[in-house]
Structure 1
């Protein structure tokens, strides 16, 4: 049974989320603020975390930052839940390394779809035949991206942060964010995780065979 941690300071919202998850045969855990959420995450090692953004003591951004800095929790799928639904808020959340960003009040179907998508991605990456080729960004040009944006997406797909990518490519973090905006707009997506999935689809495709001995005319 998959264990899902819900970090939400609003009692009724937290109860509703826990109830939905329990009815779907998940094992839900509840935390009323970010500090308690971090403690539970370290102790219980949940399979996924749903987290509000605006909370007392420690907000959702602080929770995600702490999780990603801890080797024991850095790879736990993380979904933001927030009443702030503007695109800039969503993209800020993605830039911090969240896997998804859902706007409250979130519909039950949308919530469950996001959760299933995260678990499906984990299962896909665990399959032996899933071997994306990260040696070049050129296959990503087929998505209609500029070379620099394709390079950025290549590293996003490998789980690198904006700071990591800026260091690797020798550019500023603000430039990385501009490339991310191009990626989101070009692919008509809103999240970093959706961009990663699109990239992995391309990078996991078998390379075309090259005929080294063409028939002479």
Structure 2
């Protein structure tokens, strides 16, 4: 039976050019309740990040097209993703490799091969730390992000309102489809339509807008 308590529908971006490692890590993390999207290299990962912002990024260091160092540098320079926790997975385990990875902007540096349970523990620890930082920032006031701005005349259909309610609860498209007893493609279409109406860039912004406006 699939475990769901640990991930609580958190979305992770897993980047590695080794398809076998991708399959193994993806299966293990999904078993622990995480929603995992994948990319084969840094350039493909940047294309994914243009569409949505994950809760955490797990990234190989040595990859074709764009390596992990270049990717994390780009992530840290973009205000939309600068806050996202990053975990490096690398076969390079020398002290100078770890130092370089952490200095580039990774939050955690793990060496391959690794124990899956340790990977999950590091992921959970990083997500908890990110949540504490966000809560601390919000509690101080005046330093929080401005409200999401959308056109004042946005008109969502009743179905779209139901879908955005589930999006704001952190549910993946697959789970929303199961809840509403429709296909995942139908949910993806509704989300795409809402992004078009609101001018927002991804599900994270859509969820934040829904919460700020009392839709969830």
**TM-score scaled by structure 2?**
0.58
Runs (4 or more) in structure 1 with deviation over 4 Å come to 128-132
2:16 is the alignment partner of 1:11: no
Any residues of structure 2 matched to 1:1-217 within 5 Å, and which?
Answer: 1-128=9-136
Displacement, 1:41? 2.0
Q: Which runs of 5+ in 1 are unaligned?
A: 133-217
Structure 2 CA distance for partners of 1:69 and 1:128, relative to 1, 3 Å: closer
Task: Tell me the distance in 2 between the aligned counterparts of 1:105 and 1:80.
Answer: 12
Task: Tell me the distance in 1 between the aligned counterparts of 2:138 and 2:55.
Answer: 21
Task: Tell me the distance in 1 between the aligned counterparts of 2:85 and 2:131.
Answer: 12
Task: Tell me the distance in 1 between the aligned counterparts of 2:138 and 2:45.
Answer: 33
Q: State the SS of the aligned residue for 1:80.
A: strand
**What is the count of residue pairs matched by the alignment?**
132
Displacement, 1:47? 0.4
Q: Which runs of 5+ in 2 are unaligned?
A: 1-8, 141-216
Structure 2 CA distance for partners of 1:79 and 1:128, relative to 1, 3 Å: closer
Higher relative contact order (CA 8 A, sep 6+): 2
**TM-score scaled by structure 1?**
0.58
Task: Tell me the distance in 2 between the aligned counterparts of 1:76 and 1:42.
Answer: 14
CA RMSD of aligned residues (A): 1.8
Q: Is the 8 A contact 1:42 1:73 kept in 2?
A: no
